[in-house]
Amino acid sequence: MTSTNETEFDPSIVESLRTRVGEQLEGNASGRGLRIGVACGRFNGGITARLLEGALQALEHSGVDRSDITLAWVPGAFEIPLLAQAFATGPRAVDAVITLGAVIRGDTGHYEVVAGECARGVQDVQLRTGVPVVFGVLTTNTVEQALERSLPDDTNKGRESALTAIEMVSLLRQGSLAR
């Protein structure tokens, strides 16, 4: 799936809608003061290390303090939802969780089970707890596709996941959504 000029979000729509809705909410990109949990799989660790690097760089650039980031290594993607739940509900609950993993179809006969249960579990945790849990788990057919999505540039999925985490925390604190 690729995006084109026609499918991409056009930021000017926000201003153009200002007079047509009562309230329009957007998150911002500041991570200052946020506590972040990162659950990272060791399975396909060469790929997850690249996602982690992208995520940590983005958190740092967004102003998240090093001491506010807790990194937990899990054996594989199947274990990620349990860690996400522990981060979201534990005694030192975080503001958001970033999950990083790599499930590659060629590696496993139970690709659908591992990838599907990981995604379902991550979504369950964020809906049950209200804490954003970002799905930075690659699910690809080949190693090449996983490498392509973990390049050290703006397209890195770990980086994208970190930015999404910060945006979601900020969005949920805005206007009529704020508790």
Asked whether the beta carbons of 131 and 94 are under 8 A apart, the reply is yes
Closest-approach residue to ligand INI (CB): 76
Count of C-beta atoms within a 10 Å radius of residue 1? 3
Asked whether the beta carbons of 69 and 128 are under 8 A apart, the reply is no
Closest distance to ligand INI from the beta carbon of 97 (Å): 16
Closest distance to ligand INI from the beta carbon of 32 (Å): 32
User: Please, where are the H alpha helices in 17-156?
Assistant: 45-61, 80-89, 111-129, 143-148
Contact pick of 27, 31, 37, 41 for ligand INI (by CB under 6 A): 41
- 61 catalytically annotated: no
Contact pick of 62, 64, 78, 131 for ligand INI (by CB under 6 A): 78
The single residue of 32, 42, 61, 110 carrying the catalytic annotation is 110
Contact pick of 34, 35, 38, 44 for ligand INI (by CB under 6 A): 44
Closest distance to ligand INI from the beta carbon of 157 (Å): 14
Q: Extract the tokens encoding 27.
A: 């998150």
Q: Extract the tokens encoding 89.
A: 């509900």
Contact pick of 30, 57, 70, 108 for ligand INI (by CB under 6 A): 108
Give me the sheet containing 69-74, strands edge to edge.
69-74, 36-41, 96-104, 133-140
Q: Please report, as ranges, the residues that interact with ligand INI according to CB under 6 A.
A: 41, 43-44, 75-79, 101-104, 107-108, 114
